[in-house]
A and B are shown apart, each in its own frame.
Chain A
Amino acid sequence: MNAASDQLLVLVLLINILILGTHRTTVAIRAMAAQGVILGLLPILLYSIQSHTLIITIFVLLAKGLFIPWLLLGALKKIDFGEDLQPLFGYSGNILAGAVATMLAFFFAAQLPLAPQHRDLLIVPAALATILTGFIALTSRRKAINQVVGYLMLENGIFIFGLLLTESMPLMVEAGALLDLIAGIFVMGIIIKQIGREFSSIDTSRMTALREVE
């Protein structure tokens, strides 16, 4: 069971790089959805099928796999056109940064003391790598919707880390976290629409009215 979850986590890492490197927003969102589905499958693979894990799985599949991508694609359809703009360090720079971040994550994870039953799993390095690559995507992309995708990657990374605690943490906090995530994305979706209306583009690098003069 652990081997299978490890392979899935490797897939998650690849999706991270794909999102960093793709120049099409729809591809990024679909990849996000795929990542969400994988994350949804992980709890029942790692722990046996119980009502507790099953609820999480269903919830995650619906939220990350369906609802959020649907929201984002809907927002995209209304306002966006064509390709994302060149990110801060170019696509190649992004991919390289993602690769370096992933390696750093593996290195850092090796330094942390882990519980014996988690020592051989990929969970901790994969979680840290996804968080870091999400951060890179969030900061380097210039369109609002791609920044949201980066934020979602970061949340996915946190979710992966949360897998270590699935058995012992109360369901309420996790469900709350997910609910907050959805609410947050909802609010962000609304704002993206407003940005599209105000600036006739969701390129956040055009937002330069607010900064320190001098």
Chain B
Amino acid sequence: MLDILIHLVLMVLMPPLLFGVINRTKASFAGRTGPPLLQPYFDLFRLFRKGSIFSRTTTWVFRAGPIVTLAATLTAALLIPCGNHSPLLSFNGDMILFVYLLALGRFFTTVAALDTGSSFEGMGAAREVTYSCLAEPVIFIALLVLSRLSGSLSLVGILTHSSTALWMTSGAALVMLVVGLFFVILSENCRIPFDDPNTHLELTMIHEVMVLDHSGPAFGMILYASALKLYILGAFFLHLLLPLRVAGSLQDWLVFVMSMILLAVAIGVVESSMARYRLVRVPQMLLSASVLAAFALMLVVR
């Protein structure tokens, strides 16, 4: 009972913190003090107090976009085990639902972008869809590999199966999955080197350009949903990278939170030390991630 409560509380409250950590890391790399750690919360609070302006050319799709996206992402978050604790929902085959919930969220973001009729946002939507086309196979193949390794069909089974012992026996496959998934985390969450979350130059950005017309609470929902997405994928990723098992339940949660923050720091380091890829290189990198995942599958199936 306590575990479920902690799970829910963390799921709701922690995501914006990750953004805060990433920004602080980047700032300290650049020699700045940077915004406070809780700045994302302040931003969200400010946005939710504002009113919304909707363009006259938009329809209900535009308004539904942020709401559906947030709802889908929240549902997906209910499926993911955090640390070693079971999530609220779990059944055989929930991994497919998980992937499709994320896809549903993306679908509504892009459709809302298209609904504005703006050419910028249409371009952003096109890019987003193209890249996710290349990123989704990685997640699917990763799920296949893990499912093959664990013999289970639910997210809990396949994610909590990985352990240090598994790393000993099929480390090569896991290394490839970890590298491939890290690429996907960066690209799905619009991070450098795939996308730059801070830029507002329409030529270089992908995700940001799609949400230019959203304002007020709607924009807040979008920001919150993207933070939540980072949280979900991060939790997924950490099961593979750091399959730590600690005795007590509370210590386990502590380890989970610490490792999430570490991941955020790692992303911040990557963002500070790399330049953004040229647009043509992005599909190549994602394709490489797919190839890595496919290799892992080949090694496991063999």
Q: Which residues of A contact B (CB under 8 A)?
A: 3, 6-7, 10-11, 13-14, 17, 21, 91-92, 95-96, 98-99, 102-103, 106, 110, 125
Contact = CB atoms under 8 A, between A and B. Distances in A.
A1 to B, nearest CB: 14
Interface stretch (B33-41, B115-123, B238-246, B291-299): B291-299
B294 A99 contact: yes
Contacts of A106: 298, 302
B198 interface: no
Interface of B: 168-169, 171-173, 175-176, 283-284, 287-288, 291-292, 294-295, 298-299, 302
Contacts of A14: 176, 292, 295
Contact of A17 (B169, B172, B175, B288): B288
A21 to B, nearest CB: 6
6 contacts: A6-B172, A10-B172, A14-B292, A95-B288, A99-B294, A110-B302
A74 B112 CA distance: 55
A2 to B, nearest CB: 12
Contact of A103 (B172, B173, B175, B298): B298
B176 A10 contact: yes
Nearest to A103: B298
A30 B168 CA distance: 28
B176 A17 contact: no
Nearest to A106: B298
A13 B295 contact: yes
Contacts of B299: 10
A128 to B, nearest CB: 13
B288 A21 contact: yes
A92 B287 contact: yes
A125 B173 CA distance: 15
